[in-house]
Amino acid sequence: MGRYLISRFLKWIPSAVIVLLLVYALAFYGAGDPIKLIFLRAPGDVVWDPKQIEILRESVGLDRPFLIQFGDYLWHILHGNLGNSIITNRPVNDIIAAAAPVSLQIGLAATVLMAIGGIPLGVLAALNQNTWLDNIIVAFSLFIWAVPVYVAGPLLMVFLVLGLDVMQVPYGWDGLFSSKAIIPVLVLALNPLALVIRQTRSAVIEVLSKDYIRTAYAKGIPRRVVVFRHILRPVLTPVITTLGLIMITMINGAILVETVFGMPGLGRLTVSSIIDVDYPVILAITLIGTFLVMASNLLVDLVNPILDPRAVRAQSKEGS
C-alpha cells in the first residue's frame, strides 16, 4: 500500500506542474498587468507614471522572463510558500487558510447530504422498477439535474424565506450549524444528488439480474438482508467511482454559491482574485483544486478494493 501511494503521488507531480504552467502562462500573457490595474482602479485622478509602474513591477518580480518567474514560483512552493498577494501584499498562505475551512465545511456537509439522500433513493427506485415510485424518483433526479445552481438558490430562498418564512435571507457566514448555511449546502448538493440517484439505480438494477441474487431469494433470505449484504457492496463501487466527477461539479458549484450568498470561501476568493488579476492567489486556488480532484481519484482507488475485492481481482486478471 505504501509503495502504491508513493507511485500515485509521483504521478501527481508532473500533472500538477503542467496545470500550474498552463495557468501561469495564461496569467502572464493574457490576463493583464495587475500593477496597471491598480492605477486604473485608484479613486480620483491618478497620474499615470510609467517609471513608477516599472518600479512596482520590479518590486514584485513581474519584470523578469516567464520561465524565471515560473521556476522561482515552483521553488517557493517546494518550501511551502505560496507567495504574497499582489493586491494586498498579504501572504497567500494566510488568505487560503482563512477561506479554505469555509469551503471545506460546506463541501463535506453537501457530500454527506448527497450520500444519505442519493443512495437510498436510488436503491428504492431500482427495487420498485417501473412503478409509480420509481417514476417519481427518476423524475425528481432529472428535475434537480436540470436546474442550474444560480436558479436553485433563488427558488429555495423564495420557498423557505418568503413561502414558509422559516429563516431570514441567508448572506454571510456564521458557521456550518447556522441557518445561513442551509440553503447553500442544499444548492451545492442538488446536482451531485441527481447523479448519485441515477448511478445507484442503474447499478442496483444490474445487480438484481445476477444469479447469486436470485439464489438468495430462492433460499428464503429476507429482502432487507439481501439488499444490505449482497446488493449494496457491489453497487457502491460504481457510485464511489463517480467521486472525481462529483468533486469537480461541487468545486464549480461552490464558486457561484459562495459568491451569491456572500460566503468567504475559496469560491468567492476565486472570483475576486480573477477580477483583480492576483496571480499568486489564482495559482494557489488552482493548485488546491487540482489536488482535490487527484485526491478524490486516489480515494476511489483505495475504497474500491474494500467494497468489492472480487471485481478488483477480475480487472487485474483481465489487464494481465
259 and 170 housed in the same domain:
yes
Nearest to 89 by CA among 276, 290, 262, 275: 276
Amino acid at position 186, single letter? L
Going by pLDDT thresholds of 50, 70 and 90, the confidence category of residue 140 is very high
Number of domains present in the structure of the chain:
2
User: Is 9 part of a structural domain of the chain?
Assistant: yes
Top-confidence range, 3-7, 210-214, 248-252:
210-214
The pLDDT value recorded for residue 41 is 66
Cell numbers that stand for 245 in this block = 466527477
99 and 195 housed in the same domain:
yes
Q: Quote the CA–CA distance of 137 and 128 in Å, as a whole number.
A: 10
- pTM strictly above 0.85: no
User: Is 265 part of a structural domain of the chain?
Assistant: yes
User: Is 258 part of a structural domain of the chain?
Assistant: yes
The pLDDT value recorded for residue 315 is 47
The pLDDT value recorded for residue 69 is 85
| Domain residue limits at 45 | 2-81
DSSP classification of residue 228: I
The pLDDT value recorded for residue 137 is 93
Going by pLDDT thresholds of 50, 70 and 90, the confidence category of residue 46 is low
26 and 162 housed in the same domain:
no
Which residue carries 488568505 as its cell? 95
Mean pLDDT of the chain: 81
